[in-house]
Structure formats: structure tokens, C-alpha cells
Amino acid sequence: MKQIIRKSDKLADVCYDIRGPVLEEAKRLEEEGHRILKLNIGNPAPFGFEAPEEILQDVLLNLPTAQGYCDSKGIFSARKAIMQQCQQRGIANVDLEDIYLGNGVSELIVMTMQALLNNGDEMLIPAPDYPLWTAAVSLSGGKPVHYLCDEQSDWEPDLADMEAKITDRTRGIVIINPNNPTGAVYSKETLEGIARLAEKHDLILFADEIYDKILYEDAQHIPIASLTEDALCITFSGLSKVYRVAGFRSGWMIISGAKHQAEDYIEGLNILSSMRLCANVPSQHAVQTALGGYQSINELIASGGRLREQRDRAWELVNQIPGVSCVKPRGALYLFMRLDPKVYPIASDRQLVLDLLRQEHLLLVEGTAFNWPRPDHLRMVFLPWVETLEQAIGKLHHFLQHYEQ
């Protein structure tokens, strides 16, 4: 008899449920001819958020010269522009060699974990998180340890919980700021607190700042790397969200702070980045123009701007559903809403999302997919036009009125 071909044991604890089994069901329903409203993925372009024209022009213009591989860390113009941005933001002591371009932040997240972790090493990750972080730690043989973010305090990380979970196996702290899925933008006080913890316990800071310019009202983003020179800090950002070209797969990471302590780890990062030869070259040509050009994202988030209006309206409507509440997001593209367990005693939020999909043809993501410990949250993307959001939240309202598990 033929052997069953199995996946590797390394994948035993790896999951990425944003594109998981529920999406398969959505595809099946689409094949049956149903139209599914997909508010599950933060992908701006399909909702009519077009990239700045000058970025597209730059990629087209440079296409003929972008046919070959480039330096493993990326092309000069992109790294130079990122370096200058570090200077403007008060991230000290970054030179070209500290900057790596990747095929999206996603690739670099996996790379940084693969290069660092030995079996059983621990990584502090927020709950809720962007689940790629947890998956990358597990894939690398590490142990994800989740610290809580506090819904009562606008989803700021609970520093006492974070510190209590540090052990002699802990290697680093991941922060996502502005946050996916909660929309929190961390205060200077919180960031200072995290930086001091990293310094005290000799931990690496991994700062996922891919939403750094998607901010509402008076929210201000402070790069944690600007608050420490004594801890090693790796900051991640990219073109997918702020510049709306998620399909270009272009992101970067910046190493700052205690680099002198990390020569061996940096050698590991260099090995992995050269093993994948280089990141997609044509899209790297967008980086200099993106960072140095007209910041059209500011129009979208300003009062009266499209993203801002959608956030306001979606947040208002979601909070009108009985038993549903949502902290107002101050950054990013998502509402992370709470279903009061007294009103909705749900055993499985995955089942709820499946039932919502089948009954209303609306696709959201369950909170537990973000490693949130209880089945009492849902995440919704507020990228569609207001009319579509109104329709979607109307469907959710209607569904919840009759829902029982």
C-alpha cells in the first residue's frame, strides 16, 4: 500500500486562521453562485483604495532595469529612503546595512524568528495578535507566550502581565503598533515601559509598525525604536497598507539599538536573507517615491476622508447592536468588537462565523483566530464604502438577534 504523504511535525502547532477553513467554506458558497461580502482581510486595493499614481509610474519606469537579482538586503534607493525616514523619526544610528527589504513584512517576520529561536525559546506576543507572529514562532520551534492587552484601557498592553510572563527562556517581546486587530495606538508611557522591560531583561524588541501612518483624530504613532538605544530593536513596515499595494509584496525591517550585542544573530539574518537571494526587485523601486512623495494616506484619514468616515460610521453602527461593544480604533483598518457573553453565550466563535457566512453571506474573522483566549470577539475590516458597511452591519445585527448556539 502507498504511504500517506504527511506534513512535517514542524507544522503541528502552526495555524493562520485568517485565511483558514472558514475561507474555504466561503469559496464553496461562491462556487454555488452566492455573492459573499468579505470583510475578513485588510487588503485595501479591491475596495477601490488605489495606490498613489507616482508609485505605479516609478515601478513601470524602472521595470526594464529591474530584471536581475539585487543585493540580498535590497536596492540602494529603497534602503536610503528608509534610512532617512529613521533619521526623521528619531531612530538613532541606523545605516544602510541595518535595513533589509523583504517580500512583504510577512517574509521578514518568519526570517527573524527562524534566525533567532532554538527549540523551547519563548517569545512574548500580544493577545490578541496578528497571528502570523504566533505561527512564525511555532514554526521556528519557539514557544509563543501571550501577554494580555487590556480592553478596559483602550487595548494597551498589560505591562504587569508582560513582566510576569518573562522567564529565563524569553528572547523577545513583539508589539504591534498601531495594532491589528484592536486599532490601539500605544501611548508613550506604555512604550517607555516596554522599552525599559526589554532593557532590564535583555530582550529583543520586535515592533510591527506596518500601520504607522494610518491614524485617526489625535492619535500619534511613536516608533518604540526611538525610545531605546540599549535594547536591540527590529522595526517592521512596508507598502501594503499605507500605500495600498499589498499585492506588490514589499516590506522592510530596520535593526537599531544594541547591535554590538547581536553580531551573531545579525549574521543569522544575513544567511537567511541571502538564501532567498533577494526580495522582488520591481516593487522595491516604489519605496523611495512612496516614502518621499505625496502622502495621500493623510487625505484618507483626515476629517471627511474616506477611511475616517468609514471607521466612524462602522464603529457607531456596531455599537448600536444590543450586546455588542467596540473600543474606537485609533489606527489601522479594523473593528475588534466584543459580544457580551451574557447576551451571546457562545461556545465557539468559529462556529458563529461559519453560521454568519452561511446565513448572511458575510465573512468576518473570529477573535480566537487572533489568539484571543475567549470566544467573545469578532474582527471586521472597515475598508468598504459606507453603504456597504451599513449593509454588512445590518446583516450582522439581524443575524445576532436570532442567534443561538
Choice from 81, 105, 242, 396 touching ligand PLP (CB under 6 A): 105
Strands 170-176 and 156-157: unpaired
Choice from 106, 170, 190, 284 touching ligand PLP (CB under 6 A): 106
Q: Which stretch binds ligand PLP (CB under 6 A): 3-11, 29-37, 102-110, 222-230?
A: 102-110
> What span, in angstroms and rounded, lies between the C-alpha atoms of 315 and 217?
14
Interaction of residue 100 with ligand PLP, rule CB under 6 A: no
Interaction of residue 184 with ligand PLP, rule CB under 6 A: no
Interaction of residue 240 with ligand PLP, rule CB under 6 A: yes
**CB-CB contact of 156 with 143 (8 Å):** no
Q: Which stretch binds ligand PLP (CB under 6 A): 194-202, 238-246, 276-284, 340-348?
A: 238-246
At its nearest, how many Å lie between ligand PLP and the CB of residue 248? 9
- What element of type H or E holds 163? helix 159-164
| Contact characters 112-131, ligand PLP, x per CB under 6 A | ------------------x-
Interaction of residue 210 with ligand PLP, rule CB under 6 A: yes
If the CB atoms of residues 250 and 344 are measured against ligand PLP, the closer one turns out to be 250
At its nearest, how many Å lie between ligand PLP and the CB of residue 204? 17
Q: Which residues pair with 207 in a beta bridge?
A: 175, 235
At its nearest, how many Å lie between ligand PLP and the CB of residue 4? 32
> What span, in angstroms and rounded, lies between the C-alpha atoms of 21 and 27?
10
At its nearest, how many Å lie between ligand PLP and the CB of residue 138? 17
Closest residue by beta carbon to ligand PLP: 104
* Closest CA relative to residue 74, chosen from 98, 110, 51: 98
> What span, in angstroms and rounded, lies between the C-alpha atoms of 98 and 234?
9
**CB-CB contact of 86 with 254 (8 Å):** yes
Q: Which residues pair with 254 in a beta bridge?
A: 99, 235
If the CB atoms of residues 91 and 246 are measured against ligand PLP, the closer one turns out to be 246
Q: Which residues pair with 173 in a beta bridge?
A: 124, 205
Helices (H) and strands (E) counted in the chain, each on its own, are 13, 14
Choice from 246, 281, 321, 339 touching ligand PLP (CB under 6 A): 246
- Cell 540580498 appears where? 72
* Closest CA relative to residue 221, chosen from 287, 175, 288, 289: 175
Q: Amino acid identity, residue 196?
A: R
> What span, in angstroms and rounded, lies between the C-alpha atoms of 341 and 126?
22
List the alpha helices (DSSP H) in 276-365: 281-292, 297-301, 306-320, 349-360
Q: What is the DSSP letter of 17?
A: G
- Cell 490578541 appears where? 128
Asked, as a colleague might, if the bond just before 373 is cis with ω within 30 of 0, I would say: no
At its nearest, how many Å lie between ligand PLP and the CB of residue 45? 12
Q: Which stretch binds ligand PLP (CB under 6 A): 101-109, 162-170, 190-198, 388-396?
A: 101-109
Q: Which stretch binds ligand PLP (CB under 6 A): 103-111, 114-122, 227-235, 383-391?
A: 103-111
Number of shown-chain residues binding ligand PLP (CB under 6 A): 13
At its nearest, how many Å lie between ligand PLP and the CB of residue 247? 9
Interaction of residue 42 with ligand PLP, rule CB under 6 A: yes
Interaction of residue 279 with ligand PLP, rule CB under 6 A: no
If the CB atoms of residues 106 and 190 are measured against ligand PLP, the closer one turns out to be 106
Using CB under 6 A as the criterion, which residues of the chain lie in contact with ligand PLP when the complex forms?
42, 104-106, 130, 176, 180, 208, 210, 238, 240, 246, 251
